């Protein structure tokens, strides 16, 4: 059953105390890649590179995950616990399966955080709901890496066209909006709505 707006709103409210995770940077396009083992191993135990690592190599692999800006509250908590006193097998098991699930939980929190942002409109809600409805780590990561940026751009274009339709719009504002629409990049659209529109004279 597909998620409804009410369901998402309730879930977002329930997750509010956990929203300490920094959401992906829209300005950066949320393009930081998560290591493939975190999101794409349908059979994590088959041919895993972690099988031949000793404890030092396994700890380095966990440290690299901690350095990834996409690592949120759950990933950080589990990784630090393993670095404190994890055995070889515990480290290996987490890298092969636990990390993927912990990252998925962090990504879901990040998506609910995005839904609650005032600038998130219909397109962002639609794509976020679709990712949550699919319910896989891969769908959540795809939304955060690419879907969010494109959906926000769709919402931002709609906002700019609404501004153009205002009968009281000034010539300077109309020209500025048309210029940013001609540029058309998600970053230019967002920057104009956050900053540029307030710098237009007249």
- Name the nearest CA neighbour of 103 among 64, 50, 141: 141
What pLDDT does residue 42 have? Answer: 43
Compute the distance between CA of residue 49 and CA of residue 59 in angstroms, rounded to an integer. Answer: 14
pLDDT at 154: 97
Tokens of 151: 């959906």
Q: What confidence tens digit (pLDDT) does each residue in 133-182 have?
A: 999 999 999 999 999 999 999 999 999 999 999 999 999 999 999 999 99
- pLDDT tens track for 37-69: 444 444 444 568 999 899 999 999 999 999 998
pLDDT at 22: 37
Task: Please give the distance of CA 168 from its chain centroid, rounded to a whole number.
Answer: 37
* pTM check: above 0.85: no
């Amino acid at each position: 059953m597909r998620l409804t707006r009410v369901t998402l709103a309730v879930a977002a409210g329930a997750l509010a105390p956990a929203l300490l995770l920094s959401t992906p940077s829209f300005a950066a396009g949320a393009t930081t890649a998560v290591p493939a083992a975190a999101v794409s191993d349908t059979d994590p135990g088959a041919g895993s590179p972690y099988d031949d690592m000793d404890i030092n190599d396994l700890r380095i692999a966990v440290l690299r995950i901690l350095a990834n800006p996409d690592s949120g509250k759950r990933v950080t908590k589990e990784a630090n616990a393993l670095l404190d006193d994890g055995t070889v097998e515990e480290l290996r098991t987490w890298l092969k399966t636990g990390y993927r699930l912990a990252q998925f939980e962090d990504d879901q929190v990040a998506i609910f955080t995005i839904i609650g942002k005032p600038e998130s409109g219909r397109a962002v809600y639609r794509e976020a709901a679709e990712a949550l409805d699919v319910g896989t780590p891969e769908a959540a990561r795809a939304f955060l890496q690419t879907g969010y940026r494109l959906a926000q751009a769709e919402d931002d274009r709609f906002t700019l066209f609404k501004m153009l339709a205002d009968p009281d719009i000034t010539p300077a504002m109309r020209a500025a909006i048309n210029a940013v629409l001609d540029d058309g990049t998600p970053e230019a659209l967002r920057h104009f709505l956050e900053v540029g529109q307030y710098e237009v004279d007249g």
